[in-house]
């Protein structure tokens, strides 16, 4: 079995290998802090050893619940926001057949998402779609009080109870939340829902390898054991004992910090397969919430190429030179399509006849890399042998490990997110939520 590989060759026109490797002691110090749990946010380091600590019993319980939902339901709604849905969506979107999504050919339920926005139209269309459909709900919230998720759950639960009766509905709802506290825990206990626990020491954006990610992924029919195995192998490959020069997470953390120091303030995660869009969304949350604080941090952006080469490509080629790219490159696609020969050749494409579409995609990738590097955009490449559960597991752990290291090197606490409370306070004040009377009075004076 191969591993994913980090390639920083196309960064070295901008920052030399020596300059990157000069970060070794800082990165190793960060690694010591992580592993000895002595740095900031040390109470949220459960993710570090999650892959090696997940037991066969844990996985069997998740799989059993997933099988029940798969048997019972034609659709399953994953209600959650941020770290409570992006990881599972990233895997499911990457591995699902995009065109069978709403009408799976096998017995898999359709996976739908809710609780990640407050759009009335979205909820109206979702509930309309679910009318008369036998559906289940996986309600995920660590705090148990997130408004977007709680609101969607209230609406979906009401509909499910109306469609199936309260007793049946109760069997089709699973709650994933804190072990003891929070409104969702209380509700789940009172209603008798099947529950799973999000460990106290695992923050939302690091929770994909807990039931938060694993249950929806298993319900969608994907192999959670392979996902975990990939993460386990990457845990070993990025361990503190692995020398810096051989440690991909440490080199990635060093490279992005060095580029940031040299004025590259924006990192764009690039993919060449639309299936990877949500891997980008997951990554954006992981790095954005972890790095962006104390008036510091690389801004994480994402693009889907070649689609976005026809829109954002101009900015990337010739806009302000404050960016670098990290390209996820998939070596071998899972499917095969060849370009047919056309005797009239009116489109002039016969020079491609007999070639695989991926060959064209790969040349677009290479041509873009050369153009962007010529345009002063450093390129990091992450080479993934193919798209499957195992390599996505490797990718998740690689990015998580590098994120923790990167934050410590930058000098921030990568495991908190105090900034996300600001909008919530204002929203609650504007909605007259009990307990927010003072804020309510103050904010109304500003309107």
Which CB, 141 or 368, lies closer to ligand PA5? 141
Number of shown-chain residues binding ligand PA5 (CB under 6 A): 14
Pick the catalytic residue from 148, 250, 281, 289: 289
Angle, to 10 degrees, between the axis of helix 224-237 and the axis of helix 56-72? 150
- CA–CA dist 392, 228 (Å, integer): 9
User: Taking contact as CB under 6 A, which single stretch among the options 66-74, 135-143, 216-224, 397-405 is the one that binds ligand PA5?
Assistant: 135-143
The SS3 call for residue 12 is coil
Task: Please name which of 317, 259, 316, 280 lies closest in space to residue 8, comparing C-alpha atoms.
Answer: 259
CB of residue 176 vs ligand PA5: minimum separation in angstroms?
9
What mask, x for binding ligand PA5 by CB under 6 A, covers residues 80 to 109?
A: -xxxx-------------------------
Contact in structure between 284 and 301 (CB atoms under 8 Å)? yes
- CA–CA dist 201, 422 (Å, integer): 23
User: Taking contact as CB under 6 A, which single stretch among the options 106-114, 201-209, 264-272, 321-329 is the one that binds ligand PA5?
Assistant: 201-209
- CA–CA dist 172, 153 (Å, integer): 13
CB of residue 248 vs ligand PA5: minimum separation in angstroms?
23
Among 41, 109, 136, 204, binds ligand PA5 (CB under 6 A): 204
32 tagged catalytic: no
Tokens 């010591």 -> residue: 32
Among 143, 170, 361, 413, binds ligand PA5 (CB under 6 A): 143
| Cα 130 from chain centroid (whole Å) | 26
424 tagged catalytic: yes
Q: Which of residues 387-426 bind ligand PA5 (CB under 6 A)?
A: 417
Question: Is 210 an interacting residue with respect to ligand PA5 (CB under 6 A)?
Answer: no
Among 3, 63, 149, 368, binds ligand PA5 (CB under 6 A): 149
What lies within 8 Å, CB to CB, of 21 at 6+ separation is 244, 245, 254
Question: Is 41 an interacting residue with respect to ligand PA5 (CB under 6 A)?
Answer: no
Question: Is 271 an interacting residue with respect to ligand PA5 (CB under 6 A)?
Answer: no
Tokens 């110090």 -> residue: 29
Which strand ranges, in their side-by-side order, compose the sheet holding 110-114? 110-114, 75-79, 135-140, 173-177, 194-197
> What sign for the dihedral angle of Cα 8, 14, 19, 23?
negative
Which CB, 203 or 407, lies closer to ligand PA5? 203
Question: Is 195 an interacting residue with respect to ligand PA5 (CB under 6 A)?
Answer: no
Which CB, 181 or 386, lies closer to ligand PA5? 181
Question: Is 142 an interacting residue with respect to ligand PA5 (CB under 6 A)?
Answer: yes
35 tagged catalytic: no
Question: Is 248 an interacting residue with respect to ligand PA5 (CB under 6 A)?
Answer: no
Among 33, 146, 210, 326, binds ligand PA5 (CB under 6 A): 146
CB of residue 115 vs ligand PA5: minimum separation in angstroms?
8
Per-residue DSSP letters for 52-95?
Answer: HH--HHHHHHHHHHHHHHHHH-SEEEEE--GGGTHHHHHHHHHH
Which CB, 205 or 277, lies closer to ligand PA5? 205
User: Taking contact as CB under 6 A, which single stretch among the options 140-148, 224-232, 340-348, 380-388 is the one that binds ligand PA5?
Assistant: 140-148
CB of residue 177 vs ligand PA5: minimum separation in angstroms?
8
- CA–CA dist 20, 8 (Å, integer): 10
What per-residue string of b and e applies to 231-256 under the rule 16 or more CB within 10 Å gives b? bbbbbebbeeeeeeeebbbbbbbbbb
Pick the catalytic residue from 310, 336, 343, 438: 310
- CA–CA dist 111, 107 (Å, integer): 12
Known catalytic residues are 289, 310, 424
- The residues of the shown chain that bind ligand PA5, judged by CB under 6 A, are 81-84, 141-143, 146, 149, 203-205, 289, 417
């Amino acid at each position: 079995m191969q591993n994913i590989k980090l390639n920083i060759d196309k960064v070295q026109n901008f920052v030399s290998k020596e300059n990157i490797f000069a970060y070794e002691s800082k990165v190793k110090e960060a690694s010591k802090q992580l592993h000895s749990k002595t740095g900031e946010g040390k109470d949220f380091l459960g993710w570090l050893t999650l892959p090696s600590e997940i037991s066969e019993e844990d996985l069997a319980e998740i799989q059993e619940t997933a099988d029940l939902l798969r048997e019972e339901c034609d659709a399953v709604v994953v209600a959650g926001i941020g770290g409570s849905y992006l990881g599972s969506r990233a895997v499911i979107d990457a591995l699902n057949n995009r065109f069978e999504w709403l009408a799976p050919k096998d017995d898999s339920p359709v996976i739908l998402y809710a609780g990640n926005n407050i759009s009335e139209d979205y909820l109206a269309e979702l509930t309309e779609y679910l009318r008369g459909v036998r559906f289940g709900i996986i309600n995920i919230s660590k705090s148990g009080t997130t408004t977007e998720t709680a609101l969607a759950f209230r609406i979906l639960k009401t509909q499910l109870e109306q469609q199936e009766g309260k007793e049946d509905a109760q069997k089709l709802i699973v709650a994933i939340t804190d072990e003891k506290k929070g409104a969702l825990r209380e509700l789940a206990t009172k209603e008798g829902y099947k529950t799973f626990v999000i460990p106290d020491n695992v923050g939302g954006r690091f929770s994909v390898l807990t039931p938060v990610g694993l249950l929806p992924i298993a319900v969608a029919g994907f192999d959670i054991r392979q996902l975990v195995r990939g993460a386990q192998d990457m845990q070993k490959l990025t361990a503190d004992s692995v020398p810096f020069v051989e440690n991909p997470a440490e080199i990635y953390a060093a490279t992005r910090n060095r580029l940031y120091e040299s004025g590259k303030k924006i990192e764009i995660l690039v993919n060449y397969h639309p299936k990877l869009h949500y891997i980008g969304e997951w990554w954006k949350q992981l790095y954005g919430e972890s790095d962006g604080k104390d008036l510091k941090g690389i801004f994480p952006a994402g693009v889907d190429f070649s689609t976005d080469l026809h829109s954002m490509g101009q900015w990337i080629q010739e806009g302000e030179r404050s960016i670098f790219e990290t390209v996820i490159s998939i070596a071998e696609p899972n499917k095969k399509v060849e370009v047919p020969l056309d005797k009239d050749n009116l489109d002039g494409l016969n020079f491609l006849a007999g070639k695989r579409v991926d060959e064209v995609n790969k040349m677009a990738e290479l041509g873009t890399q050369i153009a962007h590097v010529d345009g002063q955009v450093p390129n990091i490449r992450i080479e993934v042998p193919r798209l499957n559960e195992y390599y996505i597991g490797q990718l998740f752990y690689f990015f998580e490990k590098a994120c923790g290291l990167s934050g410590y090197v930058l000098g921030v606490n990568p495991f908190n997110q105090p900034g996300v409370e600001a909008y919530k306070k204002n929203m609650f004040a504007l909605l007259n939520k009990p307990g927010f009377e003072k804020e309510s009075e103050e904010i109304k004076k500003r309107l």
